[in-house]
């Protein structure tokens, strides 16, 4: 008997929910599994760049950004007084809580007809042998009393995040050996000097991202290679309040949520799937968030995965994971090179100082980089 589920999706973050929406709208029978119950807190820079918004608008999902604040561009600072303001001229971004954004996208998937199962832990893939070789035919989940159960489907999409149990079980992804950095983030109130710009403050040993949300709430994240055994809250507030530029602005700020710590951040993926399986979102690879374009990668990557899934449902597998790999490379290769360069620069203090010197002489270089990081061309 053939499976009654066409596509089984592990993970209901932005990539999983977007893929589910596209597939369900096309008539596919879709089930989405996630161990969380939504809305749930999520560590993120909380910004959607113009390229990400373009994907949402094209798919009729602009309503998912309700309750967001406009983002005019980015202010980037370095040491020795370097400061550059880059506007999204002719385009716009949004700052939005991931808790609300993710829940809105999941509701859209349910509204399109996808079946959503929350509070379900995916253990890994179900792999069967055939005359064409091994293929993923479903997912193993934790059932009642911890009993392992199998759910079968014609196709699986793994969108279960950086530590994807599905991708890692098949050797498709791993933590990048370099660089190894951790992110710590929380929400604050009463942060001084906030504007309609996101902010990235690059220092020789770490960098800090700040995003202005609605109702006077500010998202503040620190990315650092050194936790040094400190509690996340202590590490976050110390770096913010001792920074020469930010110290006064955070002197009277109140942390209104518990900090979340995540890391090591970077994940390398060697493929976009395997027979019977496609990867989407952070499961397909993740880089440091300094460029603020993670959600555009997730949304556009999910769109590409959903397109290949629909083709597979209609015509059979025929190397869909290879086609997805090629499509992702065509779509993202130049941006990946840009992001790797930015990741390399912030790893070495001397490179940070050299970049700051160059920007102080030719600030238009960084202004152009801000527009490129924002995927303004894609918008």
CATH of the domain at 368: 3.30.9.100
| Residue 268 clears pLDDT 60, i.e. is over it | yes
- Please check whether residues 105 and 213 belong to one and the same domain: no
List, for residues 48-92, the tens digit of each pLDDT value. 999 999 999 999 999 999 999 999 999 999 887 888 899 998 889
Residue 116 to residue 322: CA distance in whole angstroms: 28
| Residue 369 clears pLDDT 50, i.e. is over it | yes
Query: CATH code at 12?
Result: 3.50.50.60
**Whole-number pLDDT of residue 223:** 93
Strand order in the sheet with 30-34: 115-118, 30-34, 7-10, 155-158, 277-279, 273-274
| Residue 229 clears pLDDT 70, i.e. is over it | no
Q: Percent of the chain having pLDDT more than 70?
A: 98
Average pLDDT in the chain: 92
| Residue 272 clears pLDDT 60, i.e. is over it | yes
- Please check whether residues 250 and 102 belong to one and the same domain: no
Give every CB contact of residue 377 below 8 A, 6+ residues apart in sequence: 51, 371
Mean pLDDT of the region 11-21: 98
Higher pLDDT, 10 or 291: 10
Q: Is 315 among the domain residues?
A: yes
List, for residues 139-172, the tens digit of each pLDDT value. 999 976 778 899 999 999 999 999 999 999 999 9
Residue 223 to residue 180: CA distance in whole angstroms: 10
Q: Is 113 among the domain residues?
A: yes
| Residue 44 clears pLDDT 70, i.e. is over it | yes
- Please check whether residues 289 and 154 belong to one and the same domain: yes
**Whole-number pLDDT of residue 343:** 78
Q: Is 2 among the domain residues?
A: no
Mean pLDDT of the region 83-103: 92
Q: Is 71 among the domain residues?
A: yes
Higher pLDDT, 4 or 207: 207
| Residue 27 clears pLDDT 60, i.e. is over it | yes
**Whole-number pLDDT of residue 228:** 67
- Please check whether residues 29 and 124 belong to one and the same domain: yes
- Please check whether residues 150 and 105 belong to one and the same domain: yes
- Please check whether residues 84 and 104 belong to one and the same domain: no
Give every CB contact of residue 325 below 8 A, 6+ residues apart in sequence: 271, 272, 273
Q: Is 1 among the domain residues?
A: no
Mean pLDDT of the region 91-120: 96
**Whole-number pLDDT of residue 307:** 97
- Please check whether residues 239 and 337 belong to one and the same domain: no
- Please check whether residues 188 and 332 belong to one and the same domain: no
Q: Is 290 among the domain residues?
A: yes
Is residue 228 classed as helix, strand or coil in its secondary structure?
coil
- Please check whether residues 352 and 233 belong to one and the same domain: yes
Grade residue 368 by pLDDT with cuts at 50, 70 and 90: confident
- The DSSP H or E segment spanning 328 is helix 320-347
Q: Is 324 among the domain residues?
A: yes
Half-sphere exposure in the Cβ direction for 352 (13 Å, CA): 19
- Please check whether residues 200 and 235 belong to one and the same domain: yes
Burial 123-159 (b: 16+ CB within 10 A, else e): bbbbbeeeeeeebbbbbbbeeeeeeeeebbbbbbbbb
Most confident of 169-178, 210-219, 279-288: 210-219
- Please check whether residues 125 and 37 belong to one and the same domain: yes
| Residue 179 clears pLDDT 80, i.e. is over it | no
Range of the domain at 361: 47-96+182-262+348-379
- Please check whether residues 201 and 135 belong to one and the same domain: no
Residue 88 to residue 226: CA distance in whole angstroms: 33
Tokens for 285?
């690879």
List, for residues 187-222, the tens digit of each pLDDT value. 999 999 999 999 999 998 899 999 999 999 999 999
**Whole-number pLDDT of residue 1:** 43
Higher pLDDT, 44 or 356: 44
Q: In the beta sheet, which residues pair with residue 162?
A: none
Number of domains in the chain: 2
Q: Is 65 among the domain residues?
A: yes
Mean pLDDT of the region 319-340: 94
């Amino acid at each position: 008997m053939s499976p009654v589920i066409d596509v089984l999706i592990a993970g209901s973050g932005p990539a999983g929910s977007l893929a589910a929406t596209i597939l369900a709208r096309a008539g596919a029978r879709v089930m989405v599994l996630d161990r969380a119950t939504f809305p749930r807190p999520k560590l993120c820079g909380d910004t959607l760049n113009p390229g990400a918004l373009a994907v949402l608008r094209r798919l009729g999902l602009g309503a998912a950004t309700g309750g967001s604040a406009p983002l005019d561009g980015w202010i980037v600072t370095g040491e020795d007084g370097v400061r550059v303001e880059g506007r999204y001229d002719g385009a716009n971004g949004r700052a939005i809580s991931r808790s609300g954004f993710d829940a809105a996208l999941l509701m859209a998937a349910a509204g399109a007809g996808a079946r959503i199962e929350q509070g379900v832990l995916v253990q890994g893939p179900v792999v069967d042998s055939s005359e064409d070789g091994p293929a993923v035919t479903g997912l193993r989940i934790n059932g009642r009393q911890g009993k392992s159960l199998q759910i079968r489907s014609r196709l699986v999409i793994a969108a279960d995040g950086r530590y994807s149990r599905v991708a890692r079980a098949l050797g498709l992804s791993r933590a990048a050996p370099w660089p190894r950095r951790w992110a710590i983030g929380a929400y604050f109130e009463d942060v001084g000097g906030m504007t309609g710009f996101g902010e990235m403050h690059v220092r020789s040993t770490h960098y800090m991202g700040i995003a202005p949300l609605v109702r006077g709430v500010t998202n503040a994240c620190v990315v650092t290679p050194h936790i040094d055994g400190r509690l996340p809250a202590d590490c976050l507030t110390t770096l913010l309040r001792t920074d020469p530029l930010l110290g006064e602005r955070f002197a009277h700020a109140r942390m209104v949520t518990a900090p979340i710590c995540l890391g090591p951040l970077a994940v390398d993926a060697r493929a976009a799937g395997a027979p019977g399986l496609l990867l989407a979102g952070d499961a397909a690879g993740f880089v440091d968030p300094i460029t603020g374009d993670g959600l555009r990668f997730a949304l556009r990557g999910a769109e590409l995965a959903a397109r290949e899934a629909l083709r597979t449902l209609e015509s059979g597998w025929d190397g869909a994971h290879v086609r997805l790999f090629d499509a992702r490379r065509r779509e993202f290769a130049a941006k990946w090179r840009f992001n790797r360069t930015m990741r390399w620069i912030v790893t070495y203090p001397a490179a940070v100082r050299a970049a700051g010197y160059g920007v102080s002489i030719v600030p238009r270089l960084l202004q152009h980089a801000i527009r490129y990081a924002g995927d303004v061309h894609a918008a």
